[in-house]
Amino acid sequence: MSENAKELKKALFYNSENGAETMEDGEIREADSFCAGYMDFLNRCRTEREAVAYFEKKAREAGFTPFIAGEKYAPGSRVYYNNRGKAIILVTIGRRSLREGVRINAAHIDSPRLDLKPNPMYEDTELALFKTHYYGGIKKYQWTAIPLSLHGVIVKKGGEKVIVNIGEDAGDPRFVVTDLLPHLADEQMKRTAPQIIRGEELNILIGSRPFKCDDESEKVKLNILKLLNEKYGIIEKDFLSAELTLVPAMPVCDIGFDRSMIGGYGHDDRVCAYPAAVAALAATDPEVTCVTVLTDKEEIGSEGNTGLKSAYLRYFIEDLAAMEGLAGRDVLAKSECLSADVNAAFDPTFPDVNERRNAAYINHGVCVTKYTGSRGKGGTNDASAEFMGRVRTFLEDADVLWQTGELGKVDAGGGGTVAMYIANLGVDVVDVGVPVLSMHAPFEVVSKLDVYAAYRAFSAFIAY
Ligand code: MN
Ligand code: MN
């Protein structure tokens, strides 16, 4: 061992490194070009349904076919399972037996947003509006006075489905939640922050010109419904069997003079879903079967039949296992999973919520989080030292830029991911994801180098 303090520190201390300082120019260029693809995807896909349609198309182009239970698939076969258009599993069969387990990359493709209520449309004082019910954890005041677009599906009586996407194209109208002018906000500003805008105040402005003929009430609403009827053939009752959602209509863009970061809606968690899917599409001949799960409903606790608290992943693995005459649990017990979800990036404007030695930093790479949860590790998968050891080894062997970080200080709050639901199946799981600034805001920020590091990490996991 060296007697030189500088060298000794380098050998013994742990400090994550800033990739912008240590990465070769060529690799930084690769990261930037990878992110151009990600930004295009993020602009196109603002809901889980749009993300599933996008990845299903990419998968088909890459030779994936719909999985058929009972079929025998040879190594190298590529199959997918589309769960109700809101979640998708991509699989490439490996050379080794399923007896040795599978490698699972799991990310979610739903993001916080404003859903329309089942009976949303009304007119008040000559303006037409939609009532909403917010989805996921949001600071409600952030969703006022920004342009919004409308996405989703309407299922008419009889089953005909209409796909809605208004507000993304240049000529499209947009929608907005109005807020009070500061001049008249004295009382509003005395409310506590969660109440500055209340759930029932997240009303969407959708029109103002009345239907001109006849003497009737609610003529603005009537005129809007007439327009919708002409365009989509729908009547008001059709909203009852619809899933319509308002999301920020701001285009994805570079952030900073140096263009090192990306601003946009829905990084959480499409910033992990995209790299995981790209890694899955690139893995043509894996040693171990690789399973990429892009799931729904994480933002509301993974509930529902497209969320990972449901049995869809377990049943899928059981069907895979049956191919070799194995029980699903035997495969799951030998399997490993990266729960690919974002973490909070350290924000120098709000340093108090993080403990600096265990925080994730922009440009320090993909963040490996042993446990999430809150208080005394409540609501978490706590990855084992053994699995952390394997993860660390394959990341370092592949020269992936990575760091560790907790989601904030002990007792500052906290949050969970899908990790614990997959761990409940008997799988070894750890959280791995991209650090985000302004998480859950309508416009979130990530670092390009970190997005690329996530892609490298998911690829390394498949290949190790
Ligand atoms: Mn997330
Ligand atoms: Mn989230």
Q: For 205-216, what is each residue's pLDDT tens digit? A: 999 999 988 888
Nearest to 105 by CA among 82, 121, 88: 88
The label of the residue with tokens 């994730």 reads 360
Taking a 5 Å cut-off on Cβ, the residues next to ion ligand 2 are 268
**Rounded distance between C-alpha atoms, residue 381 and residue 428, angstroms:** 9
Query: Model pTM?
Result: 0.97
**Rounded distance between C-alpha atoms, residue 434 and residue 452, angstroms:** 9
Over residues 312-323, the mean pLDDT reads 98
pLDDT above 80 (res 402) = yes
Most confident region among 209-213, 288-292, 374-378 by mean pLDDT: 288-292
pLDDT above 90 (res 2) = no
Q: Residue 1 — very low, low, confident or very high, per pLDDT cuts 50/70/90?
A: low
Question: What are the b/e assignments for 316-348, b being 16+ CB within 10 Å?
Answer: bbbbbbbeeebebebbbebbbbbbbbbbbbbbe
Q: Residue 194 — very low, low, confident or very high, per pLDDT cuts 50/70/90?
A: very high
**pLDDT at position 78, please?**
98
Q: Quick one: which ligand is closest to 272's CA?
A: 1
Token pair of 8 as six digits = 């000794």
Q: For 102-151, what is each residue's pLDDT tens digit? A: 999 999 999 999 999 999 999 999 999 999 999 999 999 999 999 999 99
CA of 140 to the centre of ligand 2 (A): 15
Q: Residue 244 — very low, low, confident or very high, per pLDDT cuts 50/70/90?
A: very high
CA of 35 to the centre of ligand 1 (A): 19
DSSP 304: S
Residue type, position 426, single letter? G
Over residues 151-168, the mean pLDDT reads 96
**pLDDT at position 411, please?**
87
CA of 16 to the centre of ligand 1 (A): 23
CA of 145 to the centre of ligand 2 (A): 22
Question: For residue 195, how many other CB atoms are within 10 A of its CB?
Answer: 13
CA of 342 to the centre of ligand 2 (A): 7
**Rounded distance between C-alpha atoms, residue 256 and residue 20, angstroms:** 14
**pLDDT at position 147, please?**
98
Q: Residue 69 — very low, low, confident or very high, per pLDDT cuts 50/70/90?
A: very high
Nearest to 253 by CA among 7, 9, 12, 36: 36
Share of the chain above pLDDT 70, in %: 100
CA of 124 to the centre of ligand 1 (A): 37
Q: For helices 385-397 and 448-463, what crossing angle results, to 10°?
A: 110
pLDDT above 90 (res 249) = yes
